[in-house]
Structure 1
Amino acid sequence: MKRDGPLREGFTTGTAASGAAKAATLLLITGRAPETVDVGLPGGGRLTLPVAEARLEGETAVATIIKDAGDDPDVTHGAAIGCRVSRLDGAADGTVVVDGGEGVGRVTLPGLPVAVGLAAINPAPRAQIAAAVAEAIQLAGGAGGFSAVVTVANGEELARKTLNGRLGIVGGLSILGVSGIVRPFSHDAWQTSISEALDVARALGHDTVGFSTGRRSEALLRAAVPELPETALMQAADFFAFALAEAAGRKFGRIVWAAFGGKLVKMAQGLANTHAHRGDTDFSALAGWCAAAGWPAELASQAGTANTARHALKMAASPEARAALVAVLAGEALGHMRRFAGPGPGLTLLVFDFDGSLLGRFEESPIRP
């Protein structure tokens, strides 16, 4: 459904967890459950959150915040992010120990900003949660040390819809959020996952990484380049420029990108983000590329009025004509891949037809000074 007006922002899992931690701490110290809590954000500013539930379980306080991703298509939208807060016997005043419980993943591979064996709570939200507990202690006049254990209802099931398995994060979701705010269609969490997957690949000693736009293109990439291990493969979605720049910055020797014909046209246009929200297909440019591929003028002009890039590719008069167009588009796309990645890595572009067949493999060596 089309919305009128600006898209609504939301808040991260880290912000939700910090709200739950503060609410639980206040309840534990005062015996009163707050209806709302005010928390600080890693990126600056503050946010007031409604408390969905707060209760005492013996000497532990439990509180829950419902994650609100705003208008962003976030898998964690609506998830119940909780925190169990209890006192730490013998700990110094102000000590706050943050950990993960049910539904929060554990790190099993190196390269992430969290050490192997620890709960997958990134540094910024970990500090945010600890700060929220410290604020609650000060507000309520408490003393001593406290343990804050973050939980996510159905977190293990939700994690199957994320890249956590590829990152070696098992048993649940990651608690993320550099700014504390979710901005619609910015997909900050996805970009973070790409960066972390690259860190894992580098830590494991891989020299080549393979990007795809989704599960189907990744499966085709896996079959086309079977020597690439699973930890060297990552779904970059529409983050064309970002993924290339991140991989190049980590000094990988070669970057492989798998794409279908429709995305290939967006890549040939040089769009940094190939999602429909970020830019439309330039059919005028596509008509020009058809002409450059040797298509008859009338057919090239018709391609410029196609409904979709896929439709235009199907207009090719023969397999040879389509292959010629793919080669022209791939040449343009490789030029933009080089622009985004810089001179260092070798580049490989695999183009697949919509039936899964390989339309072409195009390569470019690193540019040496």
Structure 2
Amino acid sequence: MSGLRYGWTTGACATAATTAAYTALLTGEFPDPVEIVLPKDRRPSFALARESLGDGWAMAAIVKDAGDDPDVTHGALVVATVRPGVPGSGVAFQAGPGVGTVTKPGLPLAVGEPAINPVPRRMMTDHVTAVAARDGGTGDVVVEISVEGGEELARKTWNPRLGILGGLSILGTTGVVVPYSCSAWIDSIRRGVDVARAAGHPHVAACTGSTSEQVATTLYGLPDDALLDMGDFAGAVLKYLRRHPIPRLTIVGGVGKLAKLADGHLDLHSARSQVNPAFLGALAAEAGASPDLISQIESANTALHALRLSQSADLPLGDLIAARARSSALNVLTGSPVCVDVVVIDRAGAVVGRAPGELPWRPPVRPEP
């Protein structure tokens, strides 16, 4: 991915807009462009897309540039409106139109709070403090963050499932969007686990796509907030559950992606891992397949093709993939009390392989003396 252009998070954009608005509130002048300081001493400058100053308030807006990352919020207008706050109150945050509100426990924000994450809050607070020191303010302000069209954009994110209603979250830990790092997706997986744990769900399903989610819902009747949109990030799910366990995990996915998990890959994206026909042939051989079938599987174009060849010979390759994928998952979860089962499906959503779960080994409990 070398040569791709980095971008800026919604948190960085909100910080820049807040800095410009508060400066104008104190001085009557909007800095344009406005420079902010990010972690690792990055100092980007942002052009203002809109600005307005009234009696007791100032507004500045910035168009988010996600660089070359396929970010759903690329091009969104992030707006900060700053008003004086109660003396001694410090910086308070409000959700304007297009920014969500937290309605479920388990997130790093209390229920009822605007969905402005802790790091962007700290960045905005630090910049408000710096502007106050420079321009003679108190630093006691109310910062309202809005995102134009944010409620519609949020429907394309995890927010509704996580219980963040009414709009987007203001995100970012470094202020920088690294192209194709998929950090927002991985963060959403972690928040999904947190919400499921806070809701007390004993069982979650990690699914590779919408068809997998439908299968998980049909098989287990799980609520929406027990479904993890794993996508290609099996490793992200398993590593987070190792540290934050839930009693039962079901992995549901297409035969191609789970064949890669079975082969030990934790990133299932086609650009970063491939189905290995030789591995599938070895699985078939272990199950007693004929040399001719093994040869056909090793020459198969896709995992689905290999599966169809095995089905014609009454060889349960889907079950073998599921069992080996389950072993790969348990290897990552070593020492964590998570029961794992795996369901393999074809493109139509038919179940073509299963590996039932058993509780992983745990050290015996020593009786108290």
TM-score after normalising by structure 2: 0.91
2:342 matches 1:346: no
Paired amino acid for 2:218: A
Tell me if structure 2 keeps the 8 A contact 1:10–1:68: yes
**Stretches of structure 2 lacking an aligned partner (at least 5 in a row):** 364-369
Q: Give the alignment's Cα RMSD to 1 decimal.
A: 2.0
Partner of 2:327: 335
5 Å matches for 1:313-328? 313-316=307-310, 318=312, 320-321=314-315, 324-328=316-320
**Is the contact between residue 209 and residue 253 of structure 2 (CA under 8 Å) also seen in structure 1?**
no
The one-letter code of the counterpart of 2:239 is A
* Map of 1:285 onto structure 2: 279
- What's the offset of the Cα at 1:305? 3.8
Aligned residue among 77, 80, 92 for 2:77: 80
1:39 corresponds to which residue?
A: 36
Aligned equivalent of 2:145, options 143, 147, 150: 150
Structure 1 residue 44, shift from structure 2 partner: 5.2
Please list the CA deviations of residues 79-112 of structure 1 after superposition, one character each: whole Å capped at 9, or x if unmatched: 1111001122x513x9222222111100111111
Q: Which runs of 4+ in 1 moved over 6 A?
A: none
Whichever residue aligns with residue 352 of structure 2, its letter is L
Q: CA deviation at 1:240?
A: 0.5
Question: Which residue of the other structure, out of 55, 60, 83, is the alignment partner of 2:57?
Answer: 60
Residue in structure 1 matching 2:255, options 253, 261, 271:
261
Bigger shift: residues 52-61 or 70-79: 52-61
Q: Distance in 2 between matches of 1:210 and 1:188?
A: 21
Match of 1:69 in 2: 66
Aligned to 1:362: 355
SS at structure 2 position matched to 1:129: helix
Q: Percent identity?
A: 40
CA distance in 2, matches of 1:216, 1:142: 55
Aligned pair in 2 of structure 1 residues 249, 21: CA closer, same or farther (>3 Å)? same
The superposition leaves residues 266-319 of structure 1 with CA deviations (integer Å, 9 ceiling, x where unpaired) of: 111211211123222223323333433444434433433444323333344617
Judge conservation of contact 2:25–2:57 (CA < 8 Å) in 1: yes
Aligned length: 361
Note the alpha carbon deviations across 1:165-219, whole angstroms, 9 max, x for none: 1111100011111222111222111111111111111111112111101222101
Q: CA deviation at 1:63?
A: 0.9
Q: Please give the alpha-carbon distance, in whole angstroms, between the structure 1 residues aligned to 2:220 and 2:186.
A: 24
Q: Deviations over 1:112-138 (max 9, x none)?
A: 100000101111111111112222233
- TM-score normalized by the length of structure 1: 0.91
> Residues 84, 220 of structure 1: CA spacing in aligned structure 2 closer, same or farther, 3 A cutoff?
same
Q: Distance in 2 between matches of 1:176 and 1:43?
A: 18
| Cα distance between partner residues in 2 of 1:61 and 1:319 | 72
Q: Report the Cα distance in structure 2 between the residues aligned to 1:16 and 1:221, rounded to whole angstroms.
A: 38
Distance 2:313 2:58 in 1: 67
- Does 2:163 correspond to 1:168? yes
Report SS of the residue matched to 2:355: strand
Alpha-carbon distance in structure 2 between the residues aligned to 1:82 and 1:97: 16
CA distance, structure 2, for counterparts of residue 7 and residue 301 of structure 1: 42
Residues 262, 309 of structure 1: 8 Å contact kept: yes
Residue 91 of structure 1 aligns with which residue? 87
Residue number in structure 1 paired with 2:366: none
Change (3 A) 1:206 1:42: farther
1:26 counterpart letter in structure 2: T
* Kept after mapping to 2: 8 A contact 1:121/1:175: yes
- What is the Cα deviation at residue 43 of structure 1? 5.9
Q: Does the 8 A contact of 1:42 with 1:125 survive in 2?
A: no
Q: Deviations over 1:315-334 (max 9, x none)?
A: 4461723xx21122222211
**Closer, same or farther in 2 for the Cα pair 1:293/1:65, shift >3 Å?**
farther
Match of 2:120 among 122, 125, 135: 125
Unmatched tracts of structure 1, length 5 or more = none
Give the secondary structure class of the aligned counterpart of 1:206.
coil
8 Å Cα contact 1:346-1:363 kept in structure 2 = no
Tell me the equivalent position of 1:207: 202
Taking a change above 3 Å as real, the CA distance of residues 68 and 185 of structure 1, as seen in their structure-2 partners, is same
